Amino acid sequence: MFIRAYLRASTADQDANRAKQQLVEFAQQHGHIIANTYTENVSGASLQRPELFRLLDDAHPGDVLLVEQVDRLSRLTEGDWKQLLGTIKAKGVKVVALDLPTSHMAMAPAKTDSTADAFTARIIEAINGMLLDMLAAVARKDYDDRLRRQRQGIEKAKDDKRYQGKSIDQGKHAAILACLAKDMSIRETAQVTGTSTATVQRAKKLQEQQSAS
């Protein structure tokens, strides 16, 4: 059994090797050394992972694919995740993630098979598969939620910018407020101050917001 560590970060300015020592120490605690490390900077939402697939090409049945967290392996859509998982299973590779404690048993030395041991191993493998799927789904949801919040923030910023428009000259702003204080209409105020009605409305709205805060 070879331990093959996979390290990933989303962007080039992030340190993909950040968790390397943690994986090394984890392997040592279980009586193993890491045979090879595969590192790349690529989005977890992309299936275009040259280093990950190089790892799988190098791997043999029974080898361990070691990751810090399941989301280092996948923030994929359901279809892409099933494709990747199918490749992993076809290679006979065991996934071990530090945030999936039940997977750690794959690091234990192999025992001579008995009926009970074989049954237990199959049960644990089934549980690991279920939990791995669940964590991959959670990682994808977290990714989708972050994208949605980013889009909402961008749209709000655009809306605020459209509303604010050009900043109002401070001198004209004071003149507009003075006219409004005299109960002049928006149109009259615009004519007197030499501004547009939209500028007068912005000044009035700004004053109302400041008074309310």
**pLDDT string in tens for the chain (213-residue length):** 899 999 999 888 889 899 999 999 999 999 999 999 999 999 999 999 999 999 999 999 999 999 999 999 989 999 999 999 999 999 999 999 999 998 998 887 666 555 556 666 677 777 777 888 888 888 888 888 888 887 887 777 666 655 555 556 777 888 898 898 888 889 889 888 888 898 898 888 888 877 776
pLDDT at residue 166, rounded to an integer:
55
Residue 197 lies in a domain: yes
Here the CATH number for the domain that contains residue 134 is 3.40.50.1390
Report angle CA 107, 111, 112 to the nearest 5 degrees. 155
Examine the domain organization and report whether 85 and 190 are in the same domain.
no
Examine the domain organization and report whether 49 and 85 are in the same domain.
yes
Examine the domain organization and report whether 132 and 205 are in the same domain.
no
| Domain termination residue (choose one: 143, 161, 196) | 143
In a 3-state reduction of DSSP, which class is residue 64? strand
Examine the domain organization and report whether 138 and 182 are in the same domain.
no
Examine the domain organization and report whether 66 and 139 are in the same domain.
yes
Residue 110 lies in a domain: yes
Bridge partners, residue 84, by sequence: none
- Between CA 95 and CA 133 the distance in angstroms is 12
Residue 24 lies in a domain: yes
Examine the domain organization and report whether 42 and 91 are in the same domain.
yes
pLDDT at residue 131, rounded to an integer:
81
Residue 150 lies in a domain: no
Active site residue 114: no
Residue 29 lies in a domain: yes
Give the dihedral sign, CA 31/33/38/40: positive
- Residue 29: give the domain boundaries: 3-143
pLDDT at residue 149, rounded to an integer:
84
Q: Count of domains in the chain?
A: 2
Residue 162 lies in a domain: no
Examine the domain organization and report whether 99 and 190 are in the same domain.
no
As a whole number of angstroms, the longest Cα–Cα distance in the chain is 96
Examine the domain organization and report whether 61 and 26 are in the same domain.
yes
Examine the domain organization and report whether 115 and 179 are in the same domain.
no
Examine the domain organization and report whether 115 and 34 are in the same domain.
yes
**In whole angstroms, what separates CA 110 from the centre of its chain?**
36
Both tokens of 123, joined, read 């049960």
Examine the domain organization and report whether 120 and 179 are in the same domain.
no
Q: Confirm if 189 and 180 have CB atoms less than 8 A apart.
A: yes
Give the dihedral sign, CA 23/27/28/29: positive
Contacts 24+ apart (CB under 8 A), 17-26: 19/68, 19/72, 22/68, 22/98, 23/66, 23/67, 23/68, 23/98, 26/66, 26/98
pLDDT at residue 63, rounded to an integer:
94
DSSP tag of 93: P
Record the pTM: 0.66
Residue 53 lies in a domain: yes
Residue 102 lies in a domain: yes
Examine the domain organization and report whether 13 and 70 are in the same domain.
yes
Q: Confirm if 95 and 103 have CB atoms less than 8 A apart.
A: yes
Q: Work out the number of other CB atoms within 10 angstroms of the CB of residue 102.
A: 15
Q: What burial class does residue 69 get, using C-beta atoms within 10 Å of its C-beta: 0-12 exposed, 13-18 middle, 19+ buried?
A: middle
DSSP tag of 140: H
Single out the residue of 43, 47, 63, 44 nearest to residue 55, CA to CA: 63
